[in-house]
Structure 1
Amino acid sequence: MSTTTPALPRRSPLSRAGWALTDAWTITRRDLNHWALRPGTVIVGWAFPVMIVLMFGGLFGGAISVPGGGGYFEFLMPGMFTMTMLFGLETTMTAVATDASRGVTDRFRSMPMNASAVVLGRCAADMLNSIVGLSIMIGAGLLLGWRWHGGPAAALAAVGLLLLLRAALLWAGILIGLVAGGPESLASVQILVWPVGFLSNVFVDPATMPAWLGAIAAWNPLSATASATRELFGNPGWGGESWIAQNAMPMAVVWPLLLTAIFLPLSVRRFRRLGS
């Protein structure tokens, strides 16, 4: 089904920017209202990473030798912060696919609203959700004995890198949700989230893997963010002599920017082609 957007009056660039932000905020409030009507789903999404931390800490913590010594949670938490950013990908994919399959996205596109508002509103809502989820994870880590040792500025920089990764993954989630066409089609994609997360240095040193598999894990964008946040928080990490291991900090910025450069235009193009 094709949709026709009504003709809109000409606006100045500043006026168009304000119009886009106003419409985007409307979409954001719409998504937040949906979460308020289904608090159980949102709370489970926030609690799930905490459950994973408790499981790994309780079941495997005593069997894993922390590099450089120290407590297991000191090593685990920065990696789990990174995994939490990845878990948010499923929320984005499901919400976008649901709206697209029910025709909600087409109805938005037929309204006299800025074309970017639907995507921007989705991004804003999911980023707010991710900020709350990351705050809960940090609080859980503090209760379990995790601490940062790099000072407030370094800790804020680490949080910034985590949210930068989440913002990049948002665009991947939007594209996958638009392509999937419905929540049922996402099952096979969601299964891949776990292998992507585990095929990194979050839990295991890539040096212990077969050479080809370790190379993939080392170049996983999650590995760069996990290593960089461990360094900024002053927590123990795997280290390594490879180029990617030695340059985790700049790569924690380069990878999200590269992912955004790839998935943002693809998402926008796919959104514009919906219903055509």
Structure 2
Amino acid sequence: MSTVTTGKDPRTTDTLDFVAPKADELATLLVGHSRPPRPGALSASMTFGWRAMLKIKHVPEQLFDVTAFPIMMVLMYTYLFGGALAGSVSSYIQFLLPGILVMSVVMITMYTGVSVNTDIEKGVFDRFRTLPIWRPAPMVGYLLGDVVRYLIASAVMLTVGMIIGYRAAGGAVGVLLGVVLLLVFSFSFSWIWTMFGLLLRSEKSVMGVSMMVIFPLTFLSNVFVDPKTMPGWLQAFVNNSPVTHLATAVRELMAGNWPAADIAWTLGWSAVLVVVFGAVTMRLYNRK
């Protein structure tokens, strides 16, 4: 039989009777039922992705970088450079919008590393490592949640672009293919920032290092102008930049063309980024 114990309710002065189960009863409760199946890699990653989305629900200011920032980028660069470089805003927006779309989405990938670093400081990762789940699931979840943010930024920029005169000759299919390619590259590129998020000690450090990498990589590309106007030594760098290949592929897809070489280069860069920085990220994650 179970043992009856008398004690005081800490919230009141009442005397309560507690029933303490016997050892065999506890064993029956704990092991008498079959355990639920271990979550698969996809379901675990999707769960952590949903966790990333819930953060936005509770802190909606996080959407600032995928709404206000893209709008500011499109309007500022279009009206700042349009007349000087192309003679008119309507002409320049046809060249600029796919490039500035690439630039803006690639730039906001760095917030992945900031989110990772913040969770480390809060001690959340200590809990994650104790869970019986696929080990990369928390990292993949961060990136899947951020893909939704990249999609929102793309939709906002395309909407603003069409309002001020952009027209995609490739139609909806060309735009969709361009955005999908951009999302694939951004997912892969984000592994760099997860590595920095695990490696560096504070989110300010992550932001600082991210800016040092992203600004040269995005500005030294064909986002704003044709590389043919640049010095020869700079053309060599720009023409082989992954951002240049991505911007060219997105621009051509939206124009209704099929730039096979640039698409292949972009997918190749994406694979290399995942293999290299994904492996380093998981090594740091398992050891940190």
TM tier relative to shorter chain: 0.7 to 0.9
CA change 1:173–1:21 in 2 (3 A) is same
Q: Which residue pairs with 1:108 in the alignment?
A: 128
- Mapping of residues 1-276 of structure 1, within 5 Å: 18-65=39-86, 71-192=91-212, 193-234=214-255, 247-274=261-288
Q: Aligned partners of 1:152, 1:111: CA distance in 2, in Å?
A: 43
Please identify, of 74-83 and 100-109, the stretch whose mean Cα deviation from structure 2 is larger.
100-109
CA deviation profile, 1:140-170 (whole Å, cap 9, x unmatched): 1111211111243333221221111111112
Amino acid corresponding to residue 65 of structure 1 in structure 2: A
Contact conserved, 1:85 with 1:165, CA < 8 A, in 2? Answer: no
TM superposition score normalised by structure 2: 0.79
- CA root-mean-square deviation: 2.5
Q: Aligned partners of 1:127, 1:159: CA distance in 2, in Å?
A: 11
User: Where do 4+ consecutive residues of structure 1 move more than 4 Å?
Assistant: 15-18
Give secondary structure in 2 for the equivalent of 1:247: helix
Q: Which residue pairs with 1:12 in the alignment?
A: none
Contact conserved, 1:81 with 1:137, CA < 8 A, in 2? Answer: yes
Gaps of 5+ in 1: 1-14, 237-244
CA deviation profile, 1:109-139 (whole Å, cap 9, x unmatched): 1233332221121121111111111111111
Amino acid corresponding to residue 177 of structure 2 in structure 1: A
Q: Aligned partners of 2:271, 2:283: CA distance in 1, in Å?
A: 18
CA change 1:17–1:132 in 2 (3 A) is farther
Alpha-carbon shift at residue 234 of structure 1 (Å): 1.2
Contact conserved, 2:66 with 2:152, CA < 8 A, in 1? Answer: no
Gaps of 5+ in 2: 1-35
Contact conserved, 2:66 with 2:150, CA < 8 A, in 1? Answer: no
CA change 1:234–1:180 in 2 (3 A) is same
Q: Aligned partners of 1:16, 1:58: CA distance in 2, in Å?
A: 57
Contact conserved, 2:38 with 2:133, CA < 8 A, in 1? Answer: no
Q: Which has the higher contact order (CA 8 A, sep 6+)?
A: 1
Q: Aligned partners of 2:202, 2:190: CA distance in 1, in Å?
A: 17
**Higher relative strand content:** 2
TM superposition score normalised by structure 1: 0.82
Amino acid corresponding to residue 269 of structure 1 in structure 2: R
CA change 1:220–1:271 in 2 (3 A) is same
Q: Which residue pairs with 1:4 in the alignment?
A: none
Give secondary structure in 1 for the equivalent of 2:133: coil
Amino acid corresponding to residue 64 of structure 1 in structure 2: L
Contact conserved, 2:74 with 2:157, CA < 8 A, in 1? Answer: no
Q: Aligned partners of 2:183, 2:161: CA distance in 1, in Å?
A: 17
Q: How many matched pairs?
A: 250
